[in-house]
A and B are shown apart, each in its own frame.
Chain A
């Protein structure tokens, strides 16, 4: 798949309507949200019908995108790398930091080991704009075969469009949306220091594999393979103490001791 960069690397806000539904929706959303910024008053006829995008109703803005954002933060952070310790615990995520991802060169977050395909695409000068994000988020593996992002994609046009609009919205709106999503509470150094028994983890993992794919693919449920151990431990404890919402995961994590969570982190982390 080849994306032509028509705007010399700038965010592609004025793409021509290709009859593709998501672009229409994104444009509709953008004309509303970016009105004060862009000053481009190209109000589409459908704008009046998208009540959820009305300004001044921030808490209701882009609910589908906010729900989709929840999926991103399982593996990505969105924080200013300048405020992180380089290579530190906070940066040790499953996927690259998505701080200011919109408009960024593809495969270019420093310090993240990208798949060959994303590196190649990035080196060809392509950036994360509406087209590339829309294609990648709808079907990651089809768009960039060999990507290391084990994510099924977001089929729903509105959710995908609203998510991209969130990426484009700049710091404030995204930060507010991320605030709703919430960060996992920290776990104690003592818990993080537990060295997991991977052999025990292998047995315990058989319970996880009743739902999650053993090959690390995403067929509707997130991949749980190859996570940094600390991240795995934090997420499982977030389910265990019910600060993450999913009931099934709360039940599974709730039935595991600190040592058992460490054992799973050790086993899955090594895969």
Chain B
């Protein structure tokens, strides 16, 4: 094979070539990478830098939770297909086997001039390069009547996995006979595009077996949603008559919730509900805004060749928080972006070889027992954005064996991505 010159398409690599080892020792000693957020983006990025730099880079991972519950597969917990322990992960291997300095604290601020991260506990951590992968926060006031601080325990979002997911499952289990589960679905863009609709499927699965006269009401500000034809086909097949969806034409974009009386108001009509799952509009996790890398959209624009912030080349933004182009906000995407970023960051700090960015994503969803569906695509970095090359989606009317194989594939994927994140 004639070795191609890969470096010309990468700005980060060009910088590395012109100024190798520029960053080593700017704080004394080895170059320091600090990663904020221990999810699919942050944990993967920290692990790959630590693993591939053979100790040449000092990696610190800041994550408040000691036990991390993946958002992906948390719907399967709601449906009773997984237990909570099966989606719980620790950082022991990242600290023990990969030598990553894992700090369980909340990153409360970034001083990009001094190149340091302030922790809630008071410490300040210097960096040569900073990776921000905080996931999402909610846009205040986006659902009338709902305030996260006041109402998340009454009307849970369950869009950060863990205690919220447990609470939602508990509420669904305690629904009165023939009661209503309502979901206020989020506007685009948001974490895990098929997520709300997989959740509806899982709630329906539970209700069908335990409370078959109960109803599901989706109040949705969007005309369309991910894998819509596949979900609607499955809902008709498995849960006929149980699920109603109100789109924007009928008031789905201007719903109001009343947590005190457990009511949902759509287009003037008041519905009394047993459970109200409010998934508000979203923005980058707040640390991204404090670091000054977000724009008016609330997300952080990045260079598609390296995932480096367009506002600050010493900061990389991964996953849900980034505004990168065509990739959906998913754990798979964040994991894929993290590996491109890890390579680019090592290139910048240690002058290692940088190859052109390649990204991919697949989102599996479970509709009913052994009825799995998927959507996916491959992507490349262009100067403008991460651009989709080619994609696929499950077909309606697929046979049972195909759907079962798709579900089984998703279980294999879960084992793979969590090993890729946590070692």
Contact = CB atoms under 8 A, between A and B. Distances in A.
B350 interface: no
Interface residues of B, number: 37
A248 B48 CA distance: 23
A79 interface: no
A146 B378 CA distance: 37
Contact of A220 (B3, B376, B391, B408): B408
A34 interface: no
A250 B401 contact: no
Interface string B389-402: 11110100000010
B392 A200 contact: no
Contacts of A203: 343, 355
Contact of B391 (A212, A251, A259): A251
Given A203-B343, A248-B374, A255-B378, A211 B412 contact: yes
A250 B389 CA distance: 13
Interface string A194-213: 11110110011011011111
A214 to B, nearest CB: 7
Contacts, number: 91
Interface string A246-271: 11101110110001001100000000
A255 B353 contact: no
A42 interface: no
B394 A220 contact: no
Contacts of A210: 332, 335-336, 339, 360, 413, 416-417, 420
B376 A247 contact: yes
A220 B364 CA distance: 14
A67 interface: yes
A219 interface: yes
B358 A251 contact: no
Contact of B390 (A196, A212, A254): A254
Contacts of B401: 63, 67
Nearest to A211: B416
B15 interface: no
A180 B409 CA distance: 22
A93 B359 CA distance: 30
A86 interface: no
Contacts of B414: 220
Contacts of A209: 416, 419-420
B114 interface: no
A247 B375 CA distance: 9
* Listed residue (A219, A262, A263) with the most chain B CB atoms within 10 angstroms of its CB: A219
B377 interface: yes
Nearest to A207: B360
A197 B2 CA distance: 9
A197 B355 CA distance: 12
Contacts of B378: 251-252, 254-255
A219 B416 contact: yes
A248 B416 contact: no
A248 B412 CA distance: 13
B1 A194 contact: yes
Contacts of B358: 204, 207, 255
Contacts of B420: 209-210, 214
B376 A213 contact: no
Contact of B376 (A195, A196, A248): A248
Contact of A259 (B1, B390, B394): B1
Contacts of B343: 203
Contacts of A21: none
B31 to A, nearest CB: 20
Contacts of B390: 251, 254-255
Contacts of A262: 1
A221 B1 contact: no
A251 B392 contact: yes
B296 interface: no
Given A206-B339, A207-B336, A255-B389, A220 B1 contact: no
B282 interface: no
Interface in A159-194: 194
A252 B48 contact: no
B362 interface: yes
B334 to A, nearest CB: 10
6 contacts: A67-B401, A206-B339, A210-B413, A220-B409, A251-B391, A252-B378
Given A211-B416, A247-B374, 4 more contacts: A214-B420, A220-B412, A255-B390, A263-B1
Which 4 pairs show the lowest CB-CB distances between chains A and B? A220-B412, A221-B412, A255-B378, A219-B415
